[in-house]
Amino acid sequence: MKVDLTVNGKDVTADVEDRMLLVHFLRDVANLTATNVGCDTTSCGACTVLLDGESVKSCTVLAAQASGHEVTTLEGLASDGEMHPVQRAFHQEHGLQCGFCTPGMVMAIVSMLKENPHPTEEQVRQGLEGNLCRCTGYHNIVRAALAAADEEKVTA
Amino acid sequence: MIPVAFTYKRAGSVSEALELAAEHGDDAKFLAGGHSLLPLMKLRLAAPEVIIDLTGLRDLSYVTDQGSHIAIGALTRHHDVEHSDVLRREVPLLAHAASQVGDPQIRHRGTIGGSIAHADPASDLPATLLTLDATLVAQGSDGSREIPVGEFFQSLFETALEPDEMLTEIRVPKPAAAGAWSFQKFTQRAIDWAIVGCAVQDGRIGLVNMGGTPLRATAAEAALSDGAAPADAAAHAAEGTSAADDIRATRAYREHLARVLVSRALTEARSRV
Amino acid sequence: MSILGTRVIRTEDPRLLTAGGVYVDDLRTPELDGAARLTFVRSPVAHARITGIDTSAAVSEPGVVAVLTVQDMTDLAPPPPDDGSGGGGGEAPMPLGGPWAEPLLAVDTVRFVGEPVAVVITDGRYQGEDAADLVTVDYDPLPVVIGPDAALTSESLLFPAAGSNVPVTKEAPADDAPFDGCEVVIEQEIVNQRLACMPMEGRATAATFENGKLTVWHSSQNAQLCRLILCMALGMAPEQIRVVVPDVGGGFGAKVGIDRDAIIVAWAARKTGRALRWAETRSENLVGMTQGRAQLHHIKIGGNRDGKILAYRIGVIQDSGAYSRMGGFLPMLTCLMSPGVYDIPAVQAGYRAVVTNSTPISAYRGAGRPEAAATIERAVDLFAAEIGMDPAEVRRRNFIAPDKFPFATKTGALYDSGRYEEALDKVLAGAGYPELRKEQERRRANGDVRQLGIGISTYVEITAADAAAGETAKLEVSDDGTATVFTGSSPHGQGHYTAWAMLVQEELGIPMDKVTVVHGDTDLVPVGVGTYASRSLQLGGSAVYKAAVEVKDEARRQAADMLEAAEADVVLDTATGQWQVRGDPDTSLSWGQVAGHTSGGSLIADVSFTADLPTFPFGAHVSVVEVDTETGKVTLLRHVTVDDAGPVLNPVLAEGQRHGGIAQGAAQALLEEVLYDADGNPLTSTLADYAAITAAELPSYELIASETPTTVNPLGVKGIGEAGTIGATPAIQNAVIDAVAHLGVRHIDMPTTPQRVWTAINEAQKASNQ
């Protein structure tokens, strides 16, 4: 079937199997490979993207369901070559090691901060319950989320 | 990881959804948020031939104050139930329970109707609606009907919905004392399904994951209405339940947890008055 | 000003944060255009004879390129007969051959759920699972052996030709004399449970075979070892194989070299002539990737009431899974490190490795040493509880004294340097130990439902155990003034690009942003050893340092020639990266100019660095937990650590390694376990069931600095990568038991799930009621 998505501001139209998962549409059809597949039970969050501005696990959304909607991936986060505050904070705070969970983490935090601009550490940790990381122990990811919140507070 | 191939149909209205369901019968499943059905399909534990996507039915997403009760559209997402001002004011138990479902990404997609229709006894919302004495509104080819929640959950993953029916609305009576609620969800990790959970409101106690369906802890409720203190009433919490043995917990441990959680829930609900 | 020891954020990150990493399944290299997809057919049963494979339905499906079984492996030479010890008396980290040998595709027997039986190759990704579902395999079940006890007692043999389920035995003589003089003797069985390594990126491989050359892209911790293994497995020469390791999404020991499934992918590419891609699902990963730990310990500890430990015995039973991938290597390390940081007069350590119908076991962060530390730390706490002494005090009375280094342990290790009591003092001070004990006392006196537990661990571990294998580095400074480091190290999150660039800037004054690091491609780095065993900074970094020194020496010669000065009068100003005649800044030459003066146009040093000895980082952790005594639920409140691996090159990177280690250590203590039922069916084969730890279960950590150098390498450094894991697990386990010790609980095996804790409390209460 034909699906028509807006991905990072650009139209992407393709004829795909009805069962195509959004994550594979993004990776294999739109050729945006930053979004990763880390599991098959909607558990790990590596595939997190924004769908109409809200974080979703793209492995559990059909491309067909996203047709007619807007998707933002990590690749679409920076604007005019400037990193998003969350990307910047991850760099400053060493919030990534191997980088595999990172796109999903970043998108989850972007969405979290939209909904709760000044989270406590506890809220950040609870908010990341659906995003697994094996390398960082989460300590610096949490610091990055709080630092990004602070930066947005300062610049808002 | 990849579902068995199926045909995707997008429904533009409730009547179109029902027509498609009638046309395809057992070969078809409704898709709402997809976070109960798609995980099963990806593991190939379910393989419907036709998927009827309901996510376009935006007019089934609402939370409105109808005076004596709150009406919630079946396709209202957990996120919207959680953040509903109306519910936070009138039925804070339900707003809170919705905030405990899965993680933020799941709550951006999963719907209250989808969760109820899927009828997993380990889910948070079925037991919560049982506690709130809700009424489910189902629409079928013959029109709509109201199903009391006590009749809705029949057995594991089985509800009173006929094959040609879909849930359209959940009606939650406003509790007598909205603030006197408690929700206790016992897990190993924040993201886990409840090993055991309970919801308390107006002297009613709903149990999560103590049987093939959500259950009311009726023996404990009776003791409570006889004037027993929370801890004494809670001693009866596991009576009439049939909890499972699995890798997380034995039946005996679950029964113990039920008693502890109900005691804590009753105490907390009282303290909020 | 020295850059070493300063906080430098990573050069790797801008790319990873904006475009994302390029992991194997992300590769869009033209060589893989039109690649077909490979999907495995795996055994759903734990132990069975294969009586038939019917591929006819799969083969005839549109989009299916081929379906291959062992019958198609006619182009492989049979494995060489050998005595099955894998060399080194069965203690080399190599698979056992002979009667224990593991095939590629299963031959006539499957021995664990998940074992590969056939492969289907399809044009598209999505058809892969469809086609695999159409392959029918007939299995004739055999009795299943699950767990080390069953391996020892069952009549069912996984390898009948071997005659037993015990491939390697190295038992310590059970000599009771040292225990006879002890006032207190305690025996205990301790479980170090099976864990899934669970890197966020599973296994993934792509391969092409063109014009006699095999190119394999593999998610690995060392490309060069992959090539070596492929040569042996496929009967090819090194020049015929190129291995490329792109970005790797975590390894933790499970991605050392190239494993069975990936070798099959490479073989299938050669067999079919098609470019192939494979990326396992998480469900496959949780049964197909090697797992970690899985040891059963029997310990005996003896000492006197004054706190002195006099004797310690440990017997290890290592569950190897169905195929022995590492012989006795892991339990050998466990025995080697068994006495930990303590000066115990009599130590007896021995092991047996057994096979069972479960996923093969291999290295997992710590690889044999977490098991040693967890058990000696448990043993010390059991001893402390028995004699009624504070566990910190017992440790003090038994540490190897700081003036005893290098210290030869009774088990044959030579600890280079250590300040164990100082580490303990620092961590106790950082944790506020006396206040914690007061709070614990207050809650106990109050009979609070939520009790406080304080757990201590003091640990030492062995890093760069294969120091003699060393590491390689080629450093090239070009005539444009840039430098390229070709390293045999193989980063998969450790930040070596940043660290190696820091070393080059330090030695040569070439700024970091002019330094490029290359790794992981056997065409570019043909010789290298890899990243595992916490070896990279001490060996790989020392190699970079050595190469830099050689480049500097050669540059000095060139500059002297150019400046017509004596070499002794030519100096490098590392602040500016300029070569000058001493005291005459007008004679400045840039690196580019000096490099351009060489006949080849660049300065090159190609070195390997070996160390004579491994190194022994150490530390102390304090963990504070809250236990809900009504439900058994454990909450980790605080975790305070001292992890001393010598001078810290970049605190940012070192802290990150410590954090990650702590989380995995906590995961073992509190949550994770691979479970099988009695029929060998995995019960934790998805991430919904395997309780991987999340941010919501962890606090922020409190790290305390400590740097005790070693003389083993020119940088004075030891390895930090696994230390956090090794220290964290016992501190947390001890904390949980400490929380309920006043209720009569002596021991709880890991993971300390709520049900386990509640059961322990119940049983202690029942025992005290009798």
pLDDT, one tens digit per residue, over C656-689 is 999 999 999 999 999 999 999 999 999 999 999 9
CB C343 within 8 A of CB C303: no
What domain range is C599 assigned to? 467-609
Q: Are residues B116 and B23 in the same domain?
A: no
pLDDT band at A156 (very low <50, low <70, confident <90, very high): very low
pLDDT band at C41 (very low <50, low <70, confident <90, very high): very high
Say yes or no for a CB contact (<8 Å) between C688 and A41: yes
Say yes or no for a CB contact (<8 Å) between A60 and B189: no
Q: Are residues C392 and C472 in the same domain?
A: no
- Tell me how many domains chain C contains: 2
- Residue C92's pLDDT is 87
CB C369 within 8 A of CB C334: yes
The Cα–Cα gap between B228 and B250 comes to 28
Flag the least confident range among A76-80, A129-133, C244-248, C502-506: A76-80
The Cα–Cα gap between B125 and C8 comes to 48
- Residue C1's pLDDT is 82
- Residue A152's pLDDT is 67
Residue C452 has pLDDT above 70, yes or no: yes
Q: Could you say which of B44, B191, B247 has the minimum Cβ distance to residue C684?
A: B247
The Cα–Cα gap between C595 and C603 comes to 5
Assigned domain for B1 exists? no
What domain range is B90 assigned to? 58-173
Assigned domain for C395 exists? yes
Q: Are residues B69 and B152 in the same domain?
A: yes
pLDDT band at C762 (very low <50, low <70, confident <90, very high): very high
User: What mean pLDDT is predicted for residues C256-260?
Assistant: 97
Phi and psi angles of residue C655, each rounded to the nearest 5 degrees, phi first: -65, -40
Domain containing B241 — which CATH number? 3.30.390.50
The Cα–Cα gap between C386 and B11 comes to 70
Say yes or no for a CB contact (<8 Å) between C755 and B44: no
Q: Are residues C434 and C321 in the same domain?
A: yes
Q: Are residues C342 and C301 in the same domain?
A: yes
Q: Is C181 in CB contact (< 8 Å) with chain B? A: no
Q: Are residues B138 and B193 in the same domain?
A: no
Q: What is the pTM of this model?
A: 0.98
Q: Are residues B204 and B265 in the same domain?
A: yes
Q: Could you say which of B186, B190, B253 has the minimum Cβ distance to residue C697?
A: B190
Q: Are residues C603 and C626 in the same domain?
A: no
The Cα–Cα gap between C655 and C660 comes to 9
The Cα–Cα gap between C415 and C412 comes to 10
Pull the structure tokens for residue C196.
């899934």
User: What mean pLDDT is predicted for residues C123-151?
Assistant: 97
Report the candidate in B22, B269, B227, B248 with the shortest Cα–Cα distance to residue B141. B22
CB C704 within 8 A of CB C210: no
The Cα–Cα gap between C52 and C57 comes to 14
Q: Are residues C480 and C415 in the same domain?
A: no
Assigned domain for C602 exists? yes
Q: Are residues C699 and C632 in the same domain?
A: yes
Q: Is A83 in CB contact (< 8 Å) with chain C? A: yes
Q: Are residues C652 and C531 in the same domain?
A: no
More confident residue, B273 or C745: C745
Q: Are residues B210 and B252 in the same domain?
A: yes
CA-based nearest distance A104→chain C, Å = 10
Segments in C326-432 forming alpha helices (H): 329-336, 369-387, 391-396, 420-431
Q: What is the pLDDT of residues B141-186, one digit of tens each?
A: 889 999 999 999 999 999 999 988 999 999 999 999 999 999 999 9
Q: Are residues C654 and C556 in the same domain?
A: no
User: What mean pLDDT is predicted for residues A69-85?
Assistant: 95
- Residue C769's pLDDT is 85
Report the candidate in C271, C129, C153, C730 with the shortest Cα–Cα distance to residue C460. C730
Say yes or no for a CB contact (<8 Å) between B4 and C633: no
The Cα–Cα gap between C97 and C99 comes to 6
Q: Which of B150, B173, B196 is the last residue of a domain?
A: B173
User: What mean pLDDT is predicted for residues C165-177?
Assistant: 93
The Cα–Cα gap between C406 and C460 comes to 13
Say yes or no for a CB contact (<8 Å) between A54 and B3: no
What is the length of chain C? 770
The Cα–Cα gap between C280 and C219 comes to 11
- Tell me how many domains chain B contains: 3
Q: Are residues B118 and B209 in the same domain?
A: no
Say yes or no for a CB contact (<8 Å) between C10 and A94: yes
Assigned domain for C221 exists? no
A17: nearest CA in chain C?
C126
Assigned domain for B2 exists? no
Assigned domain for C264 exists? no
Residue A63's alpha-carbon distances to A27, B53, B54, in angstroms, are 12, 12, 14
- Residue C86's pLDDT is 55
- Residue C88's pLDDT is 61
Question: Which residue in this structure is represented by tokens 């059909």?
Answer: A62
State the Cα torsion C371-C376-C381-C384 to the nearest 10°: 170
Q: Are residues C663 and C732 in the same domain?
A: yes
Pull the structure tokens for residue C576.
């500016």
Q: Is B43 in CB contact (< 8 Å) with chain A? A: yes
Report the candidate in C532, C22, C537, C20 with the shortest Cα–Cα distance to residue C290. C532
Phi and psi angles of residue A14, each rounded to the nearest 5 degrees, phi first: -160, 160
Q: What secondary structure does DSSP assign to C122-164, as a single string?
A: ESSSTHHHHHHHT-EEEEEE-----SHHHHHH-S--SSGGGSS
- Residue C79's pLDDT is 72
Q: Is C635 in CB contact (< 8 Å) with chain B? A: no
Assigned domain for B229 exists? yes
What is the length of chain A? 156
- What single DSSP character describes residue A78? S
The Cα–Cα gap between C601 and C425 comes to 55
- Residue A153's pLDDT is 63
Structural domains of chain A, ranges and CATH numbers in brackets? 2-75 (3.10.20.30), 85-155 (1.10.150.120)
Chain A positions touching C10 (Cβ under 8 A) are 91, 94
Residue C478 has pLDDT above 90, yes or no: yes
* Cβ-based neighbour number of residue C170 at 10 Å: 17
Stretch 405-444 of chain C: residues touching chain A, C-beta under 8 Å: none
Pull the structure tokens for residue B123.
């889910």
Q: Are residues C574 and C623 in the same domain?
A: no
Q: Could you say which of B43, B108, B191 has the minimum Cβ distance to residue A56?
A: B108
The Cα–Cα gap between C237 and C526 comes to 13
Say yes or no for a CB contact (<8 Å) between C694 and B189: yes
Q: Which of C560, C593, C609 is the last residue of a domain?
A: C609
Assigned domain for C45 exists? no
Residue C620 has pLDDT above 70, yes or no: yes
Residue C295 has pLDDT above 50, yes or no: yes
Report the candidate in B256, B183, B262, B252 with the shortest Cα–Cα distance to residue B228. B262
Percentage of the residues of chain C whose pLDDT score is greater than 70: 99
Report the candidate in C753, C713, C763, C729 with the shortest Cα–Cα distance to residue C621. C729
| Sign for the pseudo-dihedral over CA of B15, B18, B24, B27 | positive
Q: Are residues B167 and B258 in the same domain?
A: no
The Cα–Cα gap between C379 and C314 comes to 10
Chains in contact with B, where contact means 3 or more Cβ–Cβ distances below 8 Å, are A, C
Q: Is A37 in CB contact (< 8 Å) with chain C? A: yes
Q: What is the pLDDT of residues A79-96, one digit of tens each?
A: 888 999 999 999 999 999
CB C628 within 8 A of CB B264: no
Helix (H) or strand (E) segment spanning residue C661: helix C651-670
Q: Are residues C584 and C629 in the same domain?
A: no
Domain containing C627 — which CATH number? 3.30.365.10
pLDDT, block means (10 residues), chain B with 273 residues: 98 96 95 96 97 96 98 98 98 98 98 97 97 98 95 97 94 96 98 98 97 98 97 98 96 98 97 85
Q: Are residues B212 and B188 in the same domain?
A: yes
Residue A154 has pLDDT above 60, yes or no: no
pLDDT band at C510 (very low <50, low <70, confident <90, very high): very high
Say yes or no for a CB contact (<8 Å) between B43 and C129: no
Domain containing B82 — which CATH number? 3.30.465.10
On the 0-12 / 13-18 / 19+ scale of CB atoms within 10 A, C77 is exposed
Assigned domain for B188 exists? yes
Assigned domain for C144 exists? no
Q: Which of C575, C609, C643 is the last residue of a domain?
A: C609
Report the candidate in C235, C11, C222, C42 with the shortest Cα–Cα distance to residue C132. C42
Q: Are residues B128 and B46 in the same domain?
A: no
The Cα–Cα gap between B264 and C751 comes to 26
Q: Please report the beta strands in C526-596, taking only residues with DSSP state E, as ranges in sequence order.
A: 570-573, 578-581, 584-590
Say yes or no for a CB contact (<8 Å) between A97 and C493: yes
Q: Is B2 in CB contact (< 8 Å) with chain A? A: yes
Pull the structure tokens for residue C198.
């669970």
The pLDDT mean for chain C works out to 97
CB C582 within 8 A of CB C414: no
What is the length of chain B? 273
Question: Which residue in this structure is represented by tokens 């419907």?
Answer: B48
ipTM above 0.95, yes or no: yes
- Residue A96's pLDDT is 98
Q: Are residues B63 and B155 in the same domain?
A: yes
Q: Are residues B232 and B218 in the same domain?
A: yes
* Cβ-based neighbour number of residue A155 at 10 Å: 7
Q: Are residues B263 and B187 in the same domain?
A: yes
Q: Are residues C440 and C501 in the same domain?
A: no
